[in-house]
Amino acid sequence: MKTLKPSFEIVEPSFGSSFSYSKFNVNTNNKAHLWHYHPEIEMVFVNGGSGKRQIGSHISYYSDGDLILIGSNLPHCGFTSETTGNKNEVVIQMLPEFLGTDFLTLKETKGIANLFEKAKYGIAFGKDTIKLVGPILEKMSNLWSFEKLLALLTVLKELEQASDYTLLNAQHFSLEMQVQDNDRINMVFNYVKDHFLEEISLEDIAERASMTVPSFCRYFKKMTKKTFTKFVNEYRIVHASKLLAEKPISIANVSYESGFHNFSHFNKLFKEFTGKSALQYRKELKSMIK
């Protein structure tokens, strides 16, 4: 039986720098589309467009760009795809101690230390903060290493002071665990990502994880604070949200193209997850665009 290997990413700092800075144009960051994790803290700025956020056991949809800070060993997928419509994507990766073990103990940097602690949950910043730091992140590609470091510290200071943010991975799911658990949960998440349009039975996924069904259910609930069925349904609902925003197809087709084969069940779950019907969700999106 073929199983998906976990993706542990080794991050190399940029030449002459203590952190990694990358700028991708229109969906060229293909490697990030796999489920992956690393000890570095990661900042992702998506300039415009829309897409899915997949961080830990959290799944949601964003529109009109995004700015995310992801903590160490917090598994995540890339935030753009061929249909995202973004202008470009900036990714910065740094170890928590990238400026030395004592740097974050200084009075002047205590707020940044607190920011890194919150990043363990995954942070999505609001439009005001994006407007403030987005241009700085964009221009960093043209700076030399010292000026680039100063720009990064400026951005971190602004993020530390921001009030318009949401903690995404409220259950604090991370991969600070045994290697065997890393392999297993990566396999499960990647399998759902690749097969959510199909029927995924508990028997099948438990077998792929080399566990009995009861053991797998207990394991998954312990790891993610939700049942496997709920996780799969949430993944499908977020995909449906993306289709509602991006494709002019009927809601029935949205349901089918998101992996649901029962329209009334889709409507019920969509309202439970978003607090509104799919029709209302689409109407509100259209009114926002006008």
User: What confidence tier does 10 reach under pLDDT thresholds 50, 70, 90?
Assistant: very low
CA distance 168 to 271: 20
Q: Taking Cα atoms as reference points, which of 139, 173, 217 lies closest to residue 57?
A: 173
Q: Residue ranges of the domains in the chain?
A: 20-167, 179-289
pLDDT in the model for residue 5: 38
* pLDDT at residue 266 tops 80: yes
For 68-119, write each residue's pLDDT tens digit: 999 987 878 766 655 455 678 899 999 988 888 889 899 999 999 999 999 9
Amino acid letter, residue 194: D
Task: Let me know: does 168 contact 60? Beta carbons within 8 Å.
Answer: yes
Q: Taking Cα atoms as reference points, which of 69, 67, 6, 11 lies closest to residue 40?
A: 11
For 114-167, write each residue's pLDDT tens digit: 999 999 889 999 999 999 999 999 999 999 989 999 999 999 999 999 999 999
The structure tokens 């665990």 sit at 177
* pLDDT at residue 1 tops 50: no
Asked if CATH classification 2.60.120 holds for the domain at 20-167, the reply, yes or no, is yes
Neighbours of 28 (CB within 10 A): 12
Task: Let me know: does 257 contact 233? Beta carbons within 8 Å.
Answer: no
CATH topology (fold) of 179-289: Arc Repressor Mutant, subunit A (1.10.10)
Task: Let me know: does 190 contact 146? Beta carbons within 8 Å.
Answer: no
Stated pTM of the model: 0.69
Residues in the chain: 290
